[in-house]
Amino acid sequence: MARLPLLALFLLPAAFIQAQPPQFDVLIRGARILDGAGSPWFLGDLAITGDRIAAVGFLPNAQARETIDAKGLTLAPGFIDTHSHGRAGIQVYPAAENLIRQGVTTIIEGPDGSSPLPIRPYLDDLARKNIGVNFGLLAGHGTIRSRVMSSENRRATPAELDRMRALMKQAMLDGAFGLSTGLFYVPGNYASTEEVVELAKIAAALGGLHTSHMRDEAAHVIDSVKETIRIGEEGHLPTQVTHHKIIGKANWGQSRETLRLVEEARARGVDVSIDAYPYTASSTGTGALFPQWSLSGGAKALAERLAAPDSRAKIKAEIVDRILNDRGAGDPANVVLASCGFDRSLAGKSLADVARARGRQPTAENAADAAIDIQLKGGCSAVYHAISEEDVERILRSPFSMVASDGGIMAPGPDVPHPRNYGTFARVLGRYVRERHTLPLQEAVRKMSGLPAQRFGLSDRGLIRPGLKADLVLFDPATVQDMADFTNPHQYATGVDSVWVNGVRALKSGAMTGQRGGRVLYGPARQP
């Protein structure tokens, strides 16, 4: 083709110009962009090429295969759930619709001291599957301890501790992001702080962090925060109080002191942070009502203890105390069964309801008897209404806290699980930003994206910057809302328009596309 005169270039028909190949795959125009770092929004465009953000700003001449008019909507980095129980659900519901519809694009699994072990086969298997969200993993102290010592209630010997160190090191080399502890649960509860510190040192040497479901979140919550800080300080690694809350009416308000402890620790150089969910109820198994010593040795050993009158009386007294002063917040009606494998009809009923069904008054003593019978049949998951709104808001406002669900991956079905599975991130945006003004929007987004990405070393995502991964959520701040509640929890969040995971559009105009862009994420020490 002969060279055209310069003037002729300006006279080319529009069809010729439009025929030029587009610069980008996706162009999002006119969005209010929140960068994830806590900066105020700015009006701009964002372009995606492949799995990355290609350009951000005023892009009037840009062309793309797909252009989206985002006028009136807010564009933010995809949300990162730093405390997820999604490893079972992602196998059954790989699209993770309950998360995508909240704007969640990444989850960190293996919390509370529980994880797969060894880690590499699990992650390798997951990497071969088509998943909807990015997936990272922590190594569980409780799982490691169980592998070495079963559920024995004693200190580890030096040889056993060496075996635990070796398992921790291998977990880091396999791709774990660090160590998680569940010091409230068996067998983690049987470990000394010194044992945990020794494993934390292994994680620290390989660039990992530590997160903890603390030893106690009720009467001894302050001591537990101190222990979590100590693990970070002596283990020489970042440490995190996970799903931070204050349980039991007598303890409400102690978040003032726990947050002060965090601030003081940070002032002296301890890298401590917090995550939390925006609800006044927690959820875990009915075993949480039992003294940990009674659970040593498993179900058979518990049954033997309950068959002996003296030990049964001690166990029951502890359960009564936990109903009155801990997870029951003084009333058996506050303990609501979520799922019982041995009797599905119990889902949604409180311990008070169960006591009445047995022809007895709903006292703490009668509820304790009901809890014992339930546990002997295999136990249930339960929701515990024992947290104050003031503590929730105080913790959310802390500059060192991030948002996490403590939920899983599921789809509408039977049982009555905690609504956090469907609503956590949308609830922060709807209730605590728009309605209660607990947080400004840009700070809430920071707690869901930039801060958790920084915490877990996800340097290629969590912010809106050219070159970073295109994990993005486009939502309407005026309508985003959690729909799930404690009576009807199986309801998807609304108000999220679109979600991209590594540049793949999983949600479009509020509808799932069927496309999945999730990937396995690996910790800092992984060896090929």
Structure tokens at 303: 């049954």
**Final residue of a domain: which of 458, 478, 512?**
458
Report, as an integer, the average pLDDT of 503-509.
Answer: 98
Query: For residues 209 and 455, what is the distance between their CA atoms, to the nearest angstrom?
Result: 9
- Which residues face 428 on adjacent strands? none
Q: Provide the pLDDT confidence category of residue 5 given band limits of 50, 70 and 90.
A: very low
Give Cβ neighbours of residue 30 (< 8 Å, ≥ 6 apart): 43, 44, 45, 69, 70, 71
Q: Provide the pLDDT confidence category of residue 3 given band limits of 50, 70 and 90.
A: very low
Q: Out of 4-18, 142-156, 210-224, which region has the weakest mean confidence (pLDDT)?
A: 4-18
Q: How much is the mean pLDDT over the chain?
A: 95
State whether 324 and 425 are in the same domain: no
CB count, 10 Å around CB of 380? 25
Report, as an integer, the average pLDDT of 263-291.
Answer: 97
State whether 203 and 317 are in the same domain: no
| Half-sphere exposure (Cβ direction) of 440: Cα atoms closer than 13 Å | 10
Report DSSP letters for 367-433, one per residue.
HHHHHHHHHHTT--EEEEE---HHHHHHHHHSTTEEE--------S-SS---THHHHHHHHIIIIII
**Which one has a higher pLDDT value, 401 or 528?**
401
pLDDT, one tens digit per residue, over 376-425 is 999 999 999 999 999 999 999 999 999 999 999 999 999 999 999 999 99
Structure tokens at 30: 């006119």
Domain that holds residue 347: 284-385
Indicate if the pLDDT at residue 176 is higher than 90. Answer: yes
State whether 333 and 396 are in the same domain: no
Residue 102: the pLDDT is 98
Which residue reads 């990937």 in tokens?
A: 519
State whether 250 and 380 are in the same domain: no
Q: What percent of the chain lies above the pLDDT cut of 90?
A: 95
Cα-only R_g, the chain: 25
Give Cβ neighbours of residue 91 (< 8 Å, ≥ 6 apart): none
**Final residue of a domain: which of 331, 363, 385?**
385
Residue 13: the pLDDT is 46
* Structural domain count, the chain: 2
Residue 19: the pLDDT is 53
State whether 381 and 406 are in the same domain: no
Indicate if the pLDDT at residue 157 is higher than 60. Answer: yes
Give Cβ neighbours of residue 181 (< 8 Å, ≥ 6 apart): 112, 113, 140, 141, 142, 188, 196, 210, 211, 212, 213, 231
CB count, 10 Å around CB of 341? 12
